[in-house]
Amino acid sequence: MKNNILVPALVAIAAWILLPACGSNTENTTGLQAPETAQTETLAGSAKTEQDDDKGENKSKSETAGTDAKTATVNNLKAAFEGETTASAKYAAYSKKAQEEGFTQIALLFKATSASEKIHANNHRSVLEDMGETVADVKPQYTVKTTKENLTDAIAGESYEIATMYPEFLTAANTADNQLALISLNYAYRTEQRHKPLYEKALAALQNNQVGTLSAVYYVCPTCGNTYDTTPPKRCRISMTNSERFVKINAL
């Protein structure tokens, strides 16, 4: 009987001792969860703020890049205008020198490329004026040497424009999304790719005493300056201009 009385009593005492402990654990658990939730929300809010900041920063960088590209395109077009104006005057002088030295075919080549470079200069000027820019007059500076040296100089100039200058200018114009600048710069870029082999061919003929084998007639596209030393196709391969409008150069 004593055992039967003690067992329920002991169970009741154990329950009384354990219940507050369990309740205490529950309260502690609940108490810890609240700050944890708040911390998560704070971290999420912080992450969102950082993302918004990043977006704002990227937008700012994009706008800055666009502004820089626009400024670069203006400066590039002015540099290209000056370069093409100088080239036109220089090649005209080279043509005169070649004629003096008796190289009529080379003189005709230089006359044709001079006309072509003038077209490029006028195209660049038109784009600048369309952008509201003032284009200053250019006073070409150059030195006329022998025809051989003049051809070497011309090849070097075209090589630079093809490999470096115009690719860089086109990249800036593309970033600025300036379609007129892209057209004008591309016309010049692709035409210079035509001029370089014409000069190389003339230099090789001069060195081999075969100038007489060079073409005695050239055709220049009035839109892009593309230059042909043979009968041109029905339309210009660069600007699609009808060849009936081409300028024929067969006399000095």
Does the pLDDT value for residue 34 go beyond 50? no
Structural domain includes residue 222:
yes
Tokens of 44: 């999420």
DSSP state of 47: H
Tokens of 238: 């660069």
pLDDT at residue 67, as a whole number: 79
pLDDT tens-digit profile of 37-61? 445 445 555 555 556 555 555 555 5
Structural domain includes residue 84:
yes
Structural domain includes residue 133:
yes
Q: What does the alpha-carbon distance between residue 113 and residue 152 come to, in Å, rounded to a whole number?
A: 15
H-type alpha helices, the chain: 2-100, 104-130, 147-160, 166-175, 179-207
Structural domain includes residue 53:
no
Residue 209 three-state SS: coil
Domain that holds residue 242: 71-249
Structural domain includes residue 8:
no
pLDDT tens-digit profile of 65-107? 667 999 999 999 999 999 999 999 999 999 999 999 999 999 9
Query: Which secondary-structure segment (H or E) carries 218?
Result: strand 218-220
In the chain, the percentage of residues whose pLDDT exceeds 90 is 73
Structural domain includes residue 2:
no
Q: What does the alpha-carbon distance between residue 226 and residue 220 come to, in Å, rounded to a whole number?
A: 6
Least trusted range by pLDDT, from 6-20, 63-77, 98-112, 147-161: 6-20
Structural domain includes residue 127:
yes
Count of domains in the chain? Answer: 1
Instruction: Point out which residues pair with 143 in neighbouring strands.
Output: none
Sorting pLDDT into bands at 50, 70 and 90, what band is 173? very high
Q: What does the alpha-carbon distance between residue 90 and residue 246 come to, in Å, rounded to a whole number?
A: 22
Q: What does the alpha-carbon distance between residue 230 and residue 214 come to, in Å, rounded to a whole number?
A: 10
* Average pLDDT score over residue span 23-33: 39
Least trusted range by pLDDT, from 24-33, 85-94, 174-183: 24-33
Structural domain includes residue 235:
yes
Q: What is the pTM assigned to this prediction?
A: 0.76
**How large is the C-alpha radius of gyration of the chain?**
39
Q: What does the alpha-carbon distance between residue 37 and residue 149 come to, in Å, rounded to a whole number?
A: 81
CB under 8 Å to 238, separation ≥6 — which residues? Answer: 187, 190, 191, 221, 224, 226
What's the length of the chain?
A: 252
CATH number of the domain bearing residue 89:
1.20.1260.10
Closest CA to 238 of 125, 120, 159: 120
DSSP state of 242: B
